[in-house]
């Protein structure tokens, strides 16, 4: 695979420490396009070895607006169903540039390990120095030892190490859209984290046309219905749970994922003055809210924005899904922050809101800001949402942004994939891939 | 996109070319590497001061000496180095010096430099030619100490040059090349002029008032040559070898192909063929170059500068080394295992790992707010060693392949 690709798949066996590099077969891309189209194929190929597949969309890390998405495809340890979790912020982009389009992680390590994937090299390294550390400490440790603060870390904390059903794979210091307990899978494999960094380049089949089309698309998109809005507060209003006034006093700034025109993340200052504009001497001051539903869950317990965000921070450090913690705390009648914090390890039981689909419900179940011309009774929402998410996870488009930008049509993304790769993708191919994924 | 002219070798032999990368050399010798690579010349060797002081010059037909710290180069070569360099030229060798490599053979009364004095010429960019008020205009970056005086620099980046007949490109008199502290020479009967400084372009960065820049450069000599015995010296104030200036590159290519004489009397000591070096060897290179590149990139985000010898170094120069290797790595990884002559493959990997270690240590020290001058000096020494290790393998593989394809 010559274009928009590193042309490499790493097959990593944690049990034997053997790493095999395979070329990304162009025929596979013709048939499955990319992203979950291919992670599902790789999952089936290695399913006997209970693999975790890391992947990127065909357009991830390019000039295509919102091309931020990478993904984890694996079996949900609670339901046994194969699901996909989004890798946003800069993790999807970094995976694309790490020299591998896809990484298959199979087998269980005999002792704690971590993967260091960079510029076409994948190394299995001893994690004895970081096993037992929380997500933040482990991220700091890897970045310090490698001397690079831009390394993207997909890691687990104590929740994953101890086999919690709600353990989450976090991205650097922050919560991810892993609602499936993939952190538990990492823990079972004795895999503390995957560190990603790449300074490679992507080749484009027709670079001039590709850049021209991307610029044109961006100029159309940026005037969309989200224009002038930003952050978690506006997202909450759009999904009918307006928390803008509640959150406003602690907001410091908003943060976009790679090349995404709408900032879906909001920095809050918990220990510092939110009005502080100059850069703090602390690394990554405050806390980045990346998961609206976790925040809403704690709000429902009657907590303040600062209390809720402090709990989100604790969840991120431990590497546990805040949505699950909020729901189980409510069931257990725990409403005080300290009480909830102390009970992370003990909270157990089924979740009423356990996600049942294939794609993470981290992205809202309905359009955001925009009108996608759906019937007002919501009768088509589910089919539409599944297809929209499938499209995002195939091409590598931010799954929340995909819900707010009708301008990012399937036709346009298929066209960009054709221009970028020189392969002739059709709507029929996309239909076929989508059907296979959401069957 | 830069379009490079093609350089066909009309010589009945492939010249053996030495690139000086020893004491005092900065990073611009890598630009010569790019130029030779584009010319398809693969008999390329990397020479340091120690090799010149034994008989390294007996193994090359051409010596390329690029930028850096002229005093450090002169001091490390000393009287014996000067003698060997003169002998090399007298016996038919071709010396091409740019910037520091151009200052080196000029007449000087300064200690160490006075051992060379191959060309009797004065420079215009010395402080004794300035008025008292003008002397105060110069900041640390725009001058280098020269005894009680200083050599000063009035512009950086593009300068416009007027080429003499015989050196014009496509009938054009004017050519552009970048100037990074190289000499501006006054007329002298001891050399033949090839190009004069004529003016500036939009890309010229002025370090002083334009009038003073014009007074210092315009009408003075930028490029010249001199015959000594059977050989020749070519000296370039501007960096004609810079990869972004294909027309200027063409002048150097023409000189090498026109003046290169087959004179090397002994083969370069390449040692025995090592056992085949293959994928795991180059994987180690990829791993460590990747590590080093990412730390170096991080250092570029910091306000750093190091004075090494008489020259300022910025973090960006680290990546000039690393990128020169990185973009050639795919070629070395491709194809079958190769049996090139390597003296010490394990030592190469050791030096490579040490480079990563030094960079990471520097980054940690910078993050703690500590000075890193000593580490930086050590690092640049390592970078030169690692780069010449890598490029030696690269050119040996190219040479081997061209032999095989010729056969």
- CB distance from A203 to chain B under 8 Å? no
Residue tagged 């026109």 (tokens): B258
The owner of tokens 């020749």 is B232
Separation between Cα atoms, residue A175 and residue A168, nearest integer Å: 8
User: B284-333 pLDDT, tens per residue?
Assistant: 999 999 999 999 999 999 999 999 888 889 999 999 999 999 999 999 99
Q: What is the ipTM of this complex?
A: 0.91
Q: A144 and chain B: CB distance < 8 Å anywhere?
A: yes
CA A117 – CA A183 distance, rounded (Å): 19
Distance from CA of A398 to the nearest CA of B (A): 26
- Touching check for A125 and chain B: CB below 8 Å? no
| Distance in Å from the first CA to the final CA of chain A | 27
A201 contact partners, CB below 8 Å, separation of at least 6: none
Q: Which tens digits make up the pLDDT trace of B38-55?
A: 999 999 999 999 999 998
**Residue A354 clears pLDDT 70, i.e. is over it:** no
- Closest Cα partner for A15 from A46, A43, A41? A46
**How far apart (Å, rounded) are the C-alpha atoms in residues A21 and A160?**
28
Smallest Cβ–Cβ distance between B295 and the set A121, A123, A147 belongs to A147
B279 — pLDDT class (breaks 50, 70, 90): confident
Q: Which residues of A touch B287 (CB under 8 A)?
A: 118, 121, 123
Please give the structure tokens belonging to residue A190. 């004795």
Q: Of B229, B193, B192, nearest to B85 (Cα)? A: B229
Q: State the DSSP code for B61.
A: S
pLDDT at B407 over 60: no
Q: Which residues of A touch B290 (CB under 8 A)?
A: 118-121, 197, 199
Cα–Cα distance for residue pair A238/B247, rounded to 1 Å:
59
The nearest alpha carbon in chain B to A148 belongs to B295
What pLDDT sits at residue B31?
Answer: 97
Residue B130 pLDDT class (50, 70, 90 cuts): confident
Enter the tokens of residue A228: 């002038």
By Cβ distance, the residue of A120, A146, A149 closest to B291 is A146
pLDDT band for B283, please (50, 70, 90 cuts). Answer: very high
Q: Comparing A340-354, A386-400, B203-217, B282-296, which segment has the lowest mean pLDDT?
A: A340-354
pLDDT, tens digit (0-9, with 9 covering 90-100), for A61-81: 999 999 999 999 999 998 899
User: Chain B 298-317, CB below 8 Å of chain A: which residues?
Assistant: 298
pTM of the predicted protein model: 0.91
Q: Does A120 touch chain B (CB under 8 A)?
A: yes
Beta partners for residue A142, in sequence order: none
DSSP secondary structure letter of residue B181: S
Q: Residue A55: pLDDT above 60?
A: yes
pLDDT tens across A401-437, in order? 999 999 999 999 999 999 999 999 999 999 999 999 9
Distance between CA B293 and CA B298 in Å, rounded? 9
Instruction: Give the H/E segment covering residue A188.
Output: helix A182-188
To the nearest whole Å, the CA of B325 is away from the closest chain A CA by: 14
In the predicted model, what is the mean pLDDT of chain A?
Answer: 94
**Phi/psi of residue A68, each to 5°?**
-95, -10
**What's CA A142's distance to the chain center, in Å?**
20
Residue B39's nearest CA partner among B329, B309, B253, B334 is B253
Query: Alpha carbon A231 to chain centroid distance?
Result: 17
Of B290, B298, B363, the CB nearest to A118: B290
> CA A22, CA A201: separation in Å to the nearest integer?
19
Does position A233 have pLDDT exceeding 80, yes or no?
Answer: yes
Q: Tally A–B CB contacts below 8 A.
A: 44
Q: Provide the pLDDT for residue B193.
A: 97
**B283, B286, B363 ranked by CB distance to A147: nearest:** B363
Residues 6+ positions from B7 with CB-CB distance below 8 Å: B38, B39, B40, B250, B253, B257
The verdict on A119 touching B (C-beta cutoff 8 Å) is yes
DSSP code at position A223: T
Kindly state whether B294 is in contact with chain A, defined as any CB-CB distance less than 8 angstroms: yes
Q: Which of A253, A314, A260 is nearest to A285 (CA)?
A: A253
Whether the CB-CB separation of A186 and A54 falls below 8 Å is answered with no
Which chain B residue has the Cα nearest residue A117?
B287
Model pLDDT, residue B5 = 67
Separation of alpha carbons A248 and A7, rounded Å:
45
What whole-number distance in Å separates Cα of residue A68 and Cα of residue A397?
6
- Res A181: pLDDT: 95
Minimum distance, in Å, between the CA of residue B77 and any CA atom of chain A: 37
Report pLDDT digits (tens) over B58-89: 999 999 999 999 999 999 999 999 999 999 99
End-to-end, the C-alpha distance of chain B in Å comes to: 35
The conformational region for residue B395 under phi > 0 = left, psi -120 to 50 = alpha, else beta, is alpha
Average pLDDT over residues A13-18: 97
C-alpha neighbours within 13 Å on the C-beta side of residue A106: 20
Chain A residues in contact with B293 by the CB 8 A cut-off are 119, 199
pLDDT at A305: 97
Q: Do B295 and A120 touch (CB under 8 A)?
A: no
Name the band, by pLDDT with cuts 50, 70 and 90, for residue A355: low
Any B CB within 8 A of A20 CB: no
The residue-averaged pLDDT of B91-105 equals 96
- Beta bridge partners, A106, equal A13
**B160/B196 Cα distance (integer angstroms):** 9
Query: Is B87 touching A (CB cutoff 8 A)?
Result: no
Contact B283 A199 (CB under 8 A): no
Burial class (CB in 10 A: 0-12, 13-18, 19+), A68: buried
Structure confidence by residue, pLDDT tens digits, A138-179: 999 999 999 999 999 999 999 999 999 999 999 999 999 999
Q: Do B360 and A197 touch (CB under 8 A)?
A: no
Measured between CA atoms, the residue of chain A closest to residue B323 is A199
Task: Please give the C-alpha separations between residue A157 and each of A14, A106, A195, A322, in angstroms, as whole numbers.
Answer: 19, 20, 14, 13
- Cα separation, A59 vs A394, in Å, equals 9
SS3 A406: coil
B236 forms beta bridges with B98, B223
Tell me whether residues A147 and B294 touch, CB distance under 8 A. yes
- In Å, how far are A183, A290, A291, A399 from A89, measured between CA atoms? 18, 9, 12, 12
> 């409403």: which residue's tokens?
A335
Q: How confident is the model at residue A5 (pLDDT cuts 50, 70, 90)?
A: very high
A contact test, residue of B286, B287, B290 with most A CBs within 10 A: B290
* Per-residue pLDDT band at A338 (split at 50, 70, 90): very high
Instruction: For residue A3, name the pLDDT band (cuts at 50, 70, 90).
Output: very high
> HSE (CB half, 13 Å, CA atoms) of B64?
27
Q: CB of A264 within 8 A of CB of A401?
A: yes
Considering only CA atoms, which of B257, B133, B107, B240 is closest in space to residue B186?
B107
Given CB atoms, is B297 within the 8 Å cutoff of chain A?
yes
Helix axis angle for A292-300 and A231-238, nearest 10°, is 70
Q: Which two tokens stand for residue A123?
A: 């190394």
Contacts of A149 in chain B (CB under 8 A): 298
Q: What are the CA-CA distances from residue B116 to residues A146, B57, B65, B92, B109 (Å)? A: 46, 16, 14, 18, 10
């Amino acid at each position: 695979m010559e274009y928009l690709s590193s042309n490499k798949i790493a097959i990593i066996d944690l049990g034997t420490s053997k790493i095999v590099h395979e070329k990304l077969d162009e025929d596979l891309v013709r048939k499955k396009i990319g992203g979950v189209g291919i992670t599902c194929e790789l999952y089936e190929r290695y399913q006997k070895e209970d693999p975790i597949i890391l992947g990127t969309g065909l357009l991830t890390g390019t000039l295509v607006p919102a091309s931020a998405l990478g993904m984890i495809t694996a079996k949900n340890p609670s339901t046994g169903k194969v699901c996909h979790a989004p890798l946003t912020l800069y993790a999807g982009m970094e995976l694309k540039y790490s020299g591998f389009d896809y990484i298959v992680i199979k087998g269980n390590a005999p002792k704690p390990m971590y993967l260091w994937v960079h510029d076409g090299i994948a190394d299995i390294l001893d994690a004895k120095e970081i096993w037992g550390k929380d997500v933040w400490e482990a991220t700091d440790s890897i970045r310090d030892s490698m001397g690079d603060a831009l390394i993207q870390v997909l890691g687990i904390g104590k929740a994953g190490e101890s086999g919690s059903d709600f353990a989450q794979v976090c991205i650097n210091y922050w919560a991810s859209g892993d609602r499936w307990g993939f952190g538990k899978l990492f823990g079972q494999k004795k895999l503390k984290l995957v560190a990603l960094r790449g300074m490679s380049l992507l080749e484009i089949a027709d670079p001039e046309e590709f850049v021209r089309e991307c610029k044109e698309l961006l100029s159309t998109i940026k005037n969309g219905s989200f224009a002038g809005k930003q952050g978690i507060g506006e997202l909450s209003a759009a999904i009918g749970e307006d928390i803008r006034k509640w959150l406003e006093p602690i907001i410091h700034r908003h943060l976009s994922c790679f090349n995404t025109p709408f900032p879906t993340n909001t920095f809050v200052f918990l220990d510092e003055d939110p009005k502080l504009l100059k850069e703090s001497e602390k690394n990554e001051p405050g806390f980045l809210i990346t998961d609206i539903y976790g925040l809403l869950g704690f709000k429902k317990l009657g907590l303040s924005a600062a209390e809720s965000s402090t709990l989100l921070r604790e969840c991120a450090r431990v590497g546990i899904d805040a949505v699950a913690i909020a729901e189980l705390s409510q069931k257990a009648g725990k409403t005080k922050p300290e009480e909830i914090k102390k009970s992370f390890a003990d909270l157990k039981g089924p979740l009423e809101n356990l996600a049942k689909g294939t794609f993470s419900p981290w992205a809202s179940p309905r359009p955001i800001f925009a009108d996608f011309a759906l019937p007002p009774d919501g009768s088509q929402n589910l089919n539409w949402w599944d297809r929209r998410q499938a499209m995002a996870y195939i091409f590598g488009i931010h799954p929340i942004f995909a819900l707010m930008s009708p301008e990012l049509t399937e036709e346009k993304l298929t066209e960009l994939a054709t221009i970028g790769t020189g392969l002739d993708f059709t709507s029929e191919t996309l239909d076929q891939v989508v059907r296979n994924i959401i069957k | 996109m830069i379009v490079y002219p093609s350089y066909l070798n009309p010589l009945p032999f492939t010249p053996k070319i030495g690139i000086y990368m020893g004491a005092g050399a900065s990073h611009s010798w890598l630009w010569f590497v790019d130029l030779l690579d584009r010319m398809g010349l693969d008999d390329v060797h990397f020479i340091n001061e120690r090799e010149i002081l034994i008989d390294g010059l007996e193994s090359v037909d051409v010596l390329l000496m690029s930028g850096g710290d002229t005093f450090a180069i002169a001091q490390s070569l000393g009287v014996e180095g000067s003698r060997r360099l003169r002998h090399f030229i007298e016996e038919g060798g071709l010396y091409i010096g740019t910037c520091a490599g151009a200052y080196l053979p000029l007449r000087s009364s300064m200690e160490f430099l006075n051992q060379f004095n191959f060309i009797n010429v004065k420079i215009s960019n010395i402080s004794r030619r300035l008025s008292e008020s003008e002397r105060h205009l110069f900041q640390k970056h725009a001058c280098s100490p020269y005894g009680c005086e200083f050599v000063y620099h009035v512009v950086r980046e593009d300068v416009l040059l007027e080429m003499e007949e015989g050196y014009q490109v496509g009938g054009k008199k004017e050519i552009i090349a970048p100037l990074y502290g190289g000499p501006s020479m006054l007329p002298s009967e001891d050399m033949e002029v090839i190009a004069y400084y004529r003016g500036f372009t939009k890309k010229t960065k002025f370090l002083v008032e334009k009038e003073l820049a014009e007074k210092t450069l315009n009408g003075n000599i930028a490029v010249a040559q001199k015959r000594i015995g059977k050989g020749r010296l070519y000296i370039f104030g501007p960096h004609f070898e810079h990869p972004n200036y294909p027309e200027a590159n063409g002048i150097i290519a023409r000189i090498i192909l026109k003046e290169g004489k087959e004179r090397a009397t002994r083969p370069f000591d390449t040692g025995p063929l090592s056992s085949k070096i293959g994928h795991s060897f180059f994987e180690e290179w990829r791993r460590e170059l990747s590590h080093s590149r990412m730390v170096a990139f991080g250092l570029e985000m910091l306000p750093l500068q190091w004075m090494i010898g008489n020259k300022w170094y910025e973090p960006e120069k680290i990546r000039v080394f690393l990128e020169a290797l990185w973009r050639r790595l795919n070629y070395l990884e491709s194809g079958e295992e190769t049996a090139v002559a390597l003296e010490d493959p394990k030592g190469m990997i050791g030096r490579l790992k040490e480079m990563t270690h030094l960079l990471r240590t520097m980054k940690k020290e910078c993050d703690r707010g500590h000075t890193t001058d000593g580490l930086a000096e050590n690092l640049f020494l390592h970078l030169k060693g690692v780069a010449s290790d890598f490029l030696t393998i690269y050119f040996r593989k190219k040479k081997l392949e061209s032999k095989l394809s010729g056969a």
